[in-house]
């Protein structure tokens, strides 16, 4: 009997308005999970992430943004201010969740899972700065990660997303 590979669907995150959002709501979608910050040198990637979302334009693909103040205190905003900043300044309409910690012992359980191969059974890659990207397949499994300097519109990211979207995932 095949052991099941750990996935993200058991985690809950908080929406900007404080409501719980189970990640199981994104079942059967390819996800790009990104820790964001409004005052970082990489912040223009918010616009690039939206352009990537628009370019791929597939209902089975979504980007999930997780603001974090863990690196250089570059996310001073809270709640609705974050959502407004992302949409007004960068046109981001993909889901942006409530601010969380993404590193250290107080990291959100989702980020503890994503950064630790013992938990995700795939890769070890804890974020070392803002705009670290995790790629999740349609089964909710971590399949790749990209460091902050890898632009969202890079062919490496786009090709991998397209490949995951076309793979047949029998459940």
Write down the pLDDT at residue 64. Answer: 98
pLDDT per position as a tens digit, 57-98: 999 999 999 999 999 999 999 988 998 898 888 899 999 999
Which residues are known to be catalytic?
40
Task: Report the C-alpha gap between 121 and 6 in whole angstroms.
Answer: 7
Residues contacting 121, CB < 8 A, separation 6+: 5, 6, 141
User: What's the helix, strand, coil split of the chain in %, to 5?
Assistant: 30, 20, 50
Task: Report the C-alpha gap between 22 and 11 in whole angstroms.
Answer: 6
Residues contacting 64, CB < 8 A, separation 6+: 13, 26, 31, 32, 33, 34, 94, 95, 97
Listed as ranges, residues in the chain with pLDDT below 50 are 1-2, 169-171
The structure's pTM equals 0.94
Residues 70, 74, 79, 82, CA torsion sign = negative
Write down the pLDDT at residue 83. Answer: 87
Q: Give all domains of the chain, ordered by start, each with its CATH number.
A: 8-162 (3.40.30.10)
């Amino acid at each position: 009997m095949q052991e099941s590979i750990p996935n993200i669907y058991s985690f809950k995150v908080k929406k900007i308005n404080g409501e719980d959002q189970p990640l199981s709501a994104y079942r059967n979608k390819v996800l790009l999970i990104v820790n964001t910050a409004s005052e970082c040198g990489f912040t223009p990637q918010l616009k690039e992430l939206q352009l990537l979302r628009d370019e791929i334009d597939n209902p089975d693909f979504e980007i999930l943004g997780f603001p974090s103040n863990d690196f250089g205190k570059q996310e001073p905003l809270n709640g609705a201010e974050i959502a407004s900043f992302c949409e007004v300044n960068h046109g981001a309409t993909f889901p942006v969740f409530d601010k969380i910690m993404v590193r250290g012992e107080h990291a959100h359980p989702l980020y503890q899972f994503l950064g630790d191969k013992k938990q995700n059974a795939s890769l070890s890659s804890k974020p070392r700065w803002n705009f670290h990207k995790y790629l999740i397949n349609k089964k909710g499994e971590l399949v790749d990660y990209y460091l902050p300097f890898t632009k969202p519109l890079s062919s490496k990211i786009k090709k991998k997303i397209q490949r995951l979207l076309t793979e047949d995932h029998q459940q």
